[in-house]
Amino acid sequence: MKRRLLISVLSLFLLTGCQLASDGPEEGQLVGVYFTTDVVSIPGTELEVDNISSAGSISLTEGQPGGRLYAQELNDETGDIYYDFPGLNGVAFYQIPVVGEDGQVRSIQENNQAIQERHLSTAIEDGEETSTVKGVLYAPTWGEQKCLFANLIYQTEDGKVYLEATPDAFDCASMLEEGAYVGYTWSSTTMVETSEGTKTSGLVFEYGYHGKNPVKKVVFTQMTADHQPISTGEYPVDQMPDSFEVDPDAAYILAESHCINGQGVSYVDRILLDRNDQDDRTFTTYVQEIPGILSRRTTTILWEEVGE
């Protein structure tokens, strides 16, 4: 188990608040954010890049507001509901209430490996409930760095989920240090009728972009208890296996992640995976499933022989 010293440099913290009240078609409740690496083109909305600040923030000019892209409600292989936006290749981050067949309301959240440090909390004060959903995208500090657009996701009263193209974006090319962070907050409130009167229900989405040095390859060296190497396996990060079978004689694995920092300097990050440590049953790295966004890739470490 390796001790890590987290160095947080350039912690830029930008917070913006947003209230939903506006005129026009039925307004929905804020339920999430959909991240893309290109401006989302929705019929009826034209967005142009207006300005890119040195800190990375991008402002866009909204030509003709009001365009919506409605999501499809689908079921995954386990039967769980998820929402997909046709034609878009991005990362969803949402907390959407759904009424089940039994009439009970439950929350549906995204299931992808690109949202990190996800956390949901609820605070109740004076009978009014506020839920806060937090999540982070890891942006590479080197290599393919993209502008990330945070398009807001809403849900209408009758349950339709839609997306509106965002007027805000962030240029991750300014993210040069691991640990650098830029955060945003969007919130909404609704009035809920209860037996005790009208109550305010709030939902807050806190999201941000966290700089992370990308990994090029991972090397697993299996070692005996007296530190003799048994075998070495080298994997490009996008070819990490789903599982790794360990030699019965291996006491530990030296896992070396060959990384590159924001200045283009290569270095090796090492950890030990120990047979006797219950926390060392998986190894996690990060790979660009979508260029410009790092997603988790987890490898199960099979310390026992398969079939035992």
Partner 1 sequence: MKIKWLPILLAMTLLSGCQLAQEDTVVSDTEDRLIGLFVTKDQRASVDAALGEDGRYYATVETRTNINPSTGEEFTNEVYTFPDLEGMYYYFIIDRSDPEVVSSITGPNEGVFDQGTAYGTGTGDEAVLYASFYVAREDDMTIIHGNPIYMTEDGQVYIASGGPGFSFSDTEDEGSMGSVTQSQTTTLTVGDETEEWSITAKASIAFRSVPHTIVLLQMDDQGNCLHRTAFDPGQAPERLTPEEKTAYFIVESWGTKASGEPTTIREIVDRDETNLITWYLLDNGFFMNQVTYLDWEG
Q: Which is nearer to partner 1, 68 or 134 (CB)?
A: 134
Q: Are 27 and 153 in contact (CB under 8 A)?
A: no
CB of 180 to partner 1, least distance (A): 15
Q: Which CB, 72 or 224, lies closer to partner 1?
A: 224
User: Of the two residues 46 and 235, which places its CB atom closer to partner 1 in the complex?
Assistant: 235
Shortest Cβ distance from residue 22 to partner 1 (Å)?
17
Distance CA 260, CA 275 (A): 29
One-character DSSP codes across the chain = ---------SEEE---------SSSPPPEEEEEEEESS----TT--EEEEEE-TTSEEEEEESS----EEPEEEE-TTS-EEEE-TT---EEEEEEEEE-TTS-EEEEE---SSEEEEEEEEEEETTEEEEEEEEEEEEESSSS--EEEEEEEEE-TTS-EEEE--SEEEEGGG--STT-EEEEEEEEEEEEEETTEEEEEEEEEEEEEEEEPPEEEEEEEEE-TTS-EEEEEEEEGGG--SEEEPPTT-SEEEEEEEEE-TTS-EEEEEEEEETT-TT-SEEEEEEEEETTEEEEEEEEEE-SPTT-
Close Cβ partners of 271 (under 8 Å, ≥ 6 residues apart): 1, 2, 255, 257
Residue with smaller CB distance to partner 1, 8 or 59: 8
Q: Which is nearer to partner 1, 238 or 304 (CB)?
A: 304
Q: From the CB of 2, what's the least distance to partner 1, in Å?
A: 5
Q: Which is nearer to partner 1, 158 or 279 (CB)?
A: 279
User: In whole angstroms, how close is the CB of 225 to partner 1 at the nearest point?
Assistant: 7
| Of residues 57 and 185, the one with the C-beta less far from partner 1 | 185
Which CB atom, from 112 or from 187, has the smaller least distance to partner 1? 187
Q: How far is the CB of 192 from partner 1 (least distance, A)?
A: 17
Task: Identify the CA nearest to 29 among candidates 96, 84, 88.
Answer: 96
- Binding residues vs partner 1 (CB under 8 A): 1-3, 5-6, 15, 17, 123, 125, 185, 187, 202, 204, 206, 221, 223, 225, 227, 229, 251-252, 254, 268-272, 274, 276, 278
Query: What's the min distance (Å) between Cβ of 133 and partner 1?
Result: 13
Cβ 280 to partner 1 shortest distance, Å: 10
Please state whether beta strands 282-290 and 293-302 pair in parallel, antiparallel, or not at all (unpaired).
Answer: antiparallel
CB of 1 to partner 1, least distance (A): 6
